[in-house]
């Protein structure tokens, strides 16, 4: 029923038929191209943004001191590490300090760690990394191993001020890796953190919670939505790298606070006590606090997306709330709940890409190194790496982390984005606080309020003022919707078929019938005829009978009356010759005896006789 196919059949002349074949095939090609475009567009999504004005739930706000543990409480555990660090500073930079008075309540601990400080000292590299000077003992040693630059500011490898450290495989001393830094500050901090994590991994969690800051230590004042609040509104959780952190409005008790008014006076206002004098001088080089705004079901990744708060300043953080929703397969490669990701969630929180990446690396760490990295949660049945039980863990960790950064572990390929998530866009502004005219009385009042806990006069560099609030109550909802539905797709298909081939659904059924059903029937029929012939020949060969003659098969022949250029019509059909052997029956002649009139009465009526006589 398509015009192109019909014109191919009825056209007179080969040229005209060839042109119609060419045009029909071109139309089919255009249809296939347009339909492919329609299918590709069918899996695309359009983004819609909806803005609502309503009462908003207040997010969870997690606050951590940049210094994870009180240095005065950690000196017993870090005395040997601090001594080695000071030796390196004195050797390389000429610093000299008096001997620190530290207690030896953990002498066994320090003696064990001292062996590893000797094995992994700070080194000053020379002669293109062929030799190095031990900053602890001043001795030179030959260096072998691949070089990993941990500082992008390195200009050339011949710099004489490059320092770092060497890590070797405990099972194969010839397998070594050099980690170099052009900055002495970066090298010392990285080396210090390496040994620091090893020490902290061996301290029980209960002890570490006591060594860190309590809620009374960190929080001086608190207001929310114009009302006073205290430490009961904060939930403590211990972060491996940041010590005790405190989350406001965590929702653990089943209640989530909300706010119905925007502005700084109706958000969270806290004054934090930082206590800069008790900071670890080698672990952290900045002063203040870190905060993160997150959903109650999300894990606060302070180390990844935390915002730093300055001391002696008032930091105002205005928020805009946005909920996003993406379409899953086949529109995008996101996951709804993370259940389809083959990575165990170690954080016991809602799935996120960061949780998946960290959990994947921790699993690879346990499988490759036999222990878990200190900065991430423990998998079931694993324990944190330390020198005593895992002397090879540092070399294994650094090589594994190098593969993770280069995306060679497969974690980036396995982990996917979450389809739905909440986001608070933050706008930060800072002002000097307290002012010069109010500094004296404010510090006196705060010292008097918290004097029984601080036992000293406060300094403004030990304080930080934080305000977190909604700038407005506009909730933006960003969602993806299918750009095309099935009805639109079928309508577009019909439009393309009708435009290029004047084809409908019935035509499509005819195409299926001709090219699939009829073709299959022809093939099956021929196969059946071949099988039947083979069977008859086989039976004839078995019986030994000669093939019986019969009527010759009727063969098709060309009819000279019908030209090749056109199909038979009514006029040409009338000129077709009749078959000679079996003449068709003709219409019989009429039976004229039926035309004779016969009376219906046997006798003539009397009145008709009289009339006849007259």
Three-state secondary structure readout of 270-282? EEEECCHHHCCCC
Long-range contact pairs involving 343-346 (C-beta distance under 8 Å, separation at least 24): 343/411, 343/414, 343/415, 344/379, 346/376, 346/377, 346/378, 346/379
The confidence score (pLDDT) of residue 572 equals: 58
Q: What value does the mean pLDDT take over residues 481-504?
A: 75
Judged by DSSP in three states, 191 sits in: helix
> Is the pTM value of this prediction over 0.85?
no
- Give the SS3 label for residue 471: strand
Least confident range of 371-380, 415-424, 580-589 = 580-589
Of the pLDDT bands very low, low, confident and very high (cuts 50, 70, 90), residue 345 is very high
Which pLDDT band, with edges at 50, 70 and 90, does 576 fall under? Answer: low
Provide the H-helix boundaries in 406-468: 411-414, 439-449, 451-454
Residue 111 has pLDDT above 80, yes or no: no
Does position 154 have pLDDT exceeding 50, yes or no? no
The pLDDT value given to residue 209:
92
81-89's contacts with Cβ under 8 Å and 24+ in sequence apart are: 81/113, 81/117, 81/192, 81/195, 81/196, 81/199, 82/282, 84/114, 84/117, 84/121, 84/136, 85/188, 85/191, 85/192, 85/282, 87/135, 87/136, 88/121, 88/122, 88/135, 88/136, 88/188, 89/188
CA distances (Å), 293 to each of 97, 222, 397, 470, in order? 42, 17, 31, 12
Instruction: Return mean pLDDT, the chain.
Output: 79
The whole-number pLDDT of residue 414 equals: 93
Sign of the dihedral defined by the CA atoms of residues 61, 67, 73, 76, in that order: positive
Once rounded to an integer, what is the mean pLDDT over residues 347-356?
A: 92
pLDDT digits (tens, 9 = 90+) for 163-222: 888 887 777 767 777 778 777 788 888 888 888 988 888 899 999 999 999 999 999 999
Amino acid 155: pLDDT = 38
**Cα gap 84→89, rounded to integer Å:** 9
Give the pLDDT confidence score for residue 388 in this predicted structure: 80
The beta-carbon contacts of 3-12 under 8 Å, at least 24 apart in sequence, are: 3/501, 3/502, 4/501, 9/567, 10/566, 10/567, 11/565, 12/565, 12/566
Separation between Cα atoms, residue 220 and residue 242, nearest integer Å: 19
Going along the chain from its start, the domains and CATH numbers come out as: 3-44+484-511 (no CATH), 49-68+213-332+419-482 (2.60.470.10), 72-95+115-202 (no CATH), 337-414 (1.10.287.820)
**Which residues does residue 259 pair with via DSSP β-bridges, in sequence order?**
56
């Amino acid at each position: 029923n398509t015009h192109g196919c019909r014109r191919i059949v009825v056209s007179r002349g080969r040229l005209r038929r060839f042109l119609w074949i060419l045009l029909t095939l071109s139309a089919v090609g255009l249809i296939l191209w347009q339909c492919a475009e329609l299918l590709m567009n069918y899996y695309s999504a359009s983004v819609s943004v909806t803005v609502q004005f309503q009462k908003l739930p207040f997010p969870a706000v997690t606050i951590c001191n940049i210094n994870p543990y009180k240095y005065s409480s950690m000196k017993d555990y870090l005395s040997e590490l601090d001594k080695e660090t000071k030796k390196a500073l004195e050797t390389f930079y000429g610093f000299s300090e008096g001997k620190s008075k530290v207690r030896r309540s953990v002498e066994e601990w320090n003696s064990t760690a001292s062996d590893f400080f000797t094995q992994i000292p700070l080194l000053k590299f020379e002669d293109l990394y062929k030799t190095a000077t031990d900053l602890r003992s001043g001795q030179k040693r030959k260096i072998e191993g691949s070089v990993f630059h941990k500082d992008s500011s390195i200009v050339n490898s011949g710099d004489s001020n490059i320092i770092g450290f060497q890590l070797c495989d405990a099972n194969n001393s010839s397998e070594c890796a050099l980690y170099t830094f052009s900055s002495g500050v970066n090298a010392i901090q990285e080396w210090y953190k390496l040994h620091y994590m090893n020490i902290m991994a061996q301290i029980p969690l209960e002890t570490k919670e006591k060594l860190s800051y309590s809620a009374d230590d960190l929080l001086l004042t608190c207001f929310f939505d114009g009302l006073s609040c205290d430490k009961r509104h904060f939930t403590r959780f211990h972060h491996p790298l940041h010590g005790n952190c405190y989350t406001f409005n965590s929702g653990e008790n089943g209640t989530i606070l909300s706010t119905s008014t925007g502005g700084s006076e109706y958000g969270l206002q806290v004054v934090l006590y930082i206590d800069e004098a008790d900071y670890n001088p080698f672990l952290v080089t900045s002063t203040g606090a870190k905060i993160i705004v997150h959903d109650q079901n999300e894990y606060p990744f302070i180390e990844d997306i935390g915002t730093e708060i300055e001391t002696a300043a008032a930091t105002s953080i205005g928020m805009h709330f946005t909920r996003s929703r993406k379409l899953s397969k086949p529109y995008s490669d996101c996951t709804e709940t993370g259940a389809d990701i083959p990575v165990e969630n170690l954080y016991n929180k809602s799935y996120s890409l960061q949780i998946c990446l960290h959990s994947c690396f921790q699993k690879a760490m346990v499988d490759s190194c036999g222990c878990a990295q200190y900065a991430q949660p423990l998998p079931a049945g694993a324990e944190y790496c330390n020198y005593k039980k895992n002397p090879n863990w540092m070399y294994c960790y650094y090589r594994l982390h190098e593969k993770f950064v280069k995306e060679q572990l497969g974690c980036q390929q396995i982990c996917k984005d979450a389809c739905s998530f909440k986001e608070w866009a933050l706008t930060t502004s800072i002002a000097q606080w307290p002012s010069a005219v109010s500094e004296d009385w404010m510090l006196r009042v705060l010292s008097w309020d918290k004097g029984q806990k601080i036992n000293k006069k406060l300094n403004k560099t030990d304080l930080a003022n934080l305000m977190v609030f909604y700038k407005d109550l506009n909730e933006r909802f960003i969602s993806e919707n299918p750009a095309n539905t099935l009805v639109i797709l079928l309508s577009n298909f019909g439009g393309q078929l009708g435009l290029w081939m004047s084809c409908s659904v019935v035509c499509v059924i005819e195409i299926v019938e001709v090219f699939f059903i009829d073709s299959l029937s022809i093939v099956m029929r021929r196969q059946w005829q071949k099988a039947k012939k083979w069977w008859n020949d086989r039976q004839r060969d078995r019986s030994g009978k000669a093939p019986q003659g019969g009527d010759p098969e009727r063969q098709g022949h060309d009819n000279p009356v019908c030209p090749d250029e056109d199909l038979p019509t009514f006029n040409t059909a009338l000129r077709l010759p009749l078959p000679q052997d079996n003449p068709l029956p003709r219409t019989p002649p009429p039976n004229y005896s039926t035309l004779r009139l016969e009376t219906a009465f046997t006798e003539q009526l009397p009145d008709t006789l009289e009339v006849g006589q007259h």
